[in-house]
Amino acid sequence: MSSIKVIGGGRLKGETKIQGSKNAALPIIAATVLNKGITILRNCPRILDVFHMIDVLKELGCIASWESNTLIVDTTDITSTKVSEGSVQKMRSSILFLGALLGRNHEVSIAYPGGCLIGKRPIDYHLDSIKSMNVSQEFLGDDKDIIHCYTDKIMGTDIFLKFPSVGATQNVILTAVLAEGVTRIFNAAREPEVLELCNFLVSAGARICGKGTAFIEVEGVGRLHDVDYTLSADRIVAGTYMAAIAAAGGEVLLLDTPTGQLDSVIRVLDRIGCSIRINDEYMRISCKRRPLPYDILKTQPYPGFPTDMQSQLMTVLCLADGKSTIVEEIFESRFQNVSELKKMGAMISESDNKAVISGVMHLEGAQVMAHDLRAGAALVIAGVAAQGETIVRGATSIERGYEDICRDLNSLGANVRYCSDNIL
Ligand code: UD1
């Protein structure tokens, strides 16, 4: 296991370019199997989650290769419709192959993904919706944890999601693209990554209306065609670096930032005292004073404040001049950082899905553990803002979503490096 060592305390100054979007790349990689041919995906981040999705493609008999940040996928031949238990355990997003393989081959076997550190994460909305599209489901294996779905014809239908689940919306769209008739999704997720999946599919020949809204209509087509597509930049990576400036202070330029997708984050950072200016080429963010507290910050589905930015804002509010409250509305247990930040001198009390944070003047460097991807990134920025040396263990979690968080933060003037646990 690797760690990240941070020497903190200085203000930030510099510029960095924001990598391609992880959460847009993952469903689109699953979607490539809907076309019998070649997909070129540009600006694709070289991160562990993307590598896992490519491993699944290879398990299915597809070919994938890289040229710099361009991923080339050849899905002409699919030799298997089974996604192994190991793949699903490594990464929950492999569940998106459920809809994609059904669309392509009318059959799929995939292991049931368990809960994870941030919550139970059931897939009942995925399964119920797909079942209503004339798809049979059975649960196989000793523990009945292999989902086998099959059909002779996927039929479009009306689907009402109880909650605007990102993954369920994407899985239904993937199932519907090559279905017979029209599928209408009510209460669809409006996250930019759902819109981006739709944009990709439309450029490959799919017929989709209502992209980016809570009502999406997919009219099935006979086939898709080859496509060359460029992914947008990652809004959560951009938000993470904005939070780093808010916590440590300074002034930086973020290039290729997807500003249109960051309204809720910009609003919060603006209210706690950061100054943010945007033009066509970059975002300039400058934070000259200690952050102001934020009364009640609630995570919500898009366009609300993203749960994937909650940990990073918790780091910032630990340093605010007063008391803030964070309410986590999306996942049941996404406060793993409370105990880690306390090791650094933070004052936080937590009950159920609410954390009350009394800001302190300084955080102190400490040895902490990255329990998940965003929590880990939030600890690195806590280290950047803290006085002294911080070691963030479990850095592999961070590599799931950040191409090179050390490279990027060092371009912004921080002192951060990967190191093996053995030499600590
Ligand atoms: C996606 C994102 C993740 C982000 C999350 C919420 C990817 C790869 N991941 O995850 O980074 O944090 O959206 O914005 O894009 N739920 C059910 N039943 C279901 C499906 C979901 O109860 O069938 C619940 C979940 O447990 C959770 C909530 O709905 O409490 C939201 O989950 P969902 O929007 O589906 O998140 P993911 O697609 O897993």
Q: Read off the pLDDT of residues 193-240 as tens digits, 9 standing for 90 and up.
A: 999 999 999 999 999 999 999 999 999 999 999 999 999 999 999 999
Q: 215-219 and 146-150: which strand pairing?
A: unpaired
Q: Is 2 helix (H, G, I), strand (E, B) or coil?
A: strand
Residue nearest to atom 9 of ligand 1 (CA): 23
What band does 423 get if pLDDT is binned at 50, 70 and 90? low
Token pair listed for 350: 């937590």
Whole-angstrom distance, CA of residue 31 vs CA of residue 138: 23
Q: Cβ–Cβ contacts within 10 Å for residue 103, how many? A: 23
Terminal-to-terminal C-alpha distance of the chain: 12
Q: What is the pLDDT of residue 117?
A: 63
- With contact defined as beta carbons under 8 Å apart, do 229 and 203 qualify? yes
| DSSP H or E stretch at residue 325 | strand 323-327
Q: What is the pLDDT of residue 332?
A: 84
At the fourth CATH level, the homologous superfamily of domain 2-19+233-423 is Enolpyruvate transferase domain (3.65.10.10)
Assigned CATH for 22-230: 3.65.10.10
Token pair listed for 137: 């489901």
Cα of 166 vs centre of ligand 1, distance in Å, is 6
What integer is the mean pLDDT of 265-274? Answer: 98
Q: What is the pLDDT of residue 235?
A: 98
Helix locations, 141-234, DSSP H = 166-176, 192-203
What average pLDDT does the chain have? 95
Q: pLDDT per residue over 111-125, tens digit each? A: 988 656 666 678 999
Q: What is the pLDDT of residue 35?
A: 97
Cα of 119 vs centre of ligand 1, distance in Å, is 10
- With contact defined as beta carbons under 8 Å apart, do 145 and 138 qualify? no
What integer is the mean pLDDT of 40-48? Answer: 97
- Ligand 1 pocket (Cβ < 6 Å) reads 23, 26, 93, 119-126, 163, 165-168, 189, 193, 307-308, 330-331
For residue 131, report the phi and psi dihedrals to the nearest 5 degrees: -60, -40
What integer is the mean pLDDT of 240-257? Answer: 98
Annotated catalytic residue 116: yes
The yes-or-no verdict on residue 414 having pLDDT over 90 is yes
What band does 143 get if pLDDT is binned at 50, 70 and 90? confident
The yes-or-no verdict on residue 424 having pLDDT over 60 is no
Model confidence, pTM: 0.97
What integer is the mean pLDDT of 123-136? Answer: 96
Q: pLDDT per residue over 352-397, tens digit each? A: 899 999 999 999 999 999 999 999 999 999 999 999 999 999 999 9
Is there a common fold for 2-19+233-423 and 22-230?
A: yes
| Ligand 1 site-directed mutation target among 165, 170, 261, most atoms within 8 Å of CB | 165
Residue spans per domain, the chain: 2-19+233-423, 22-230
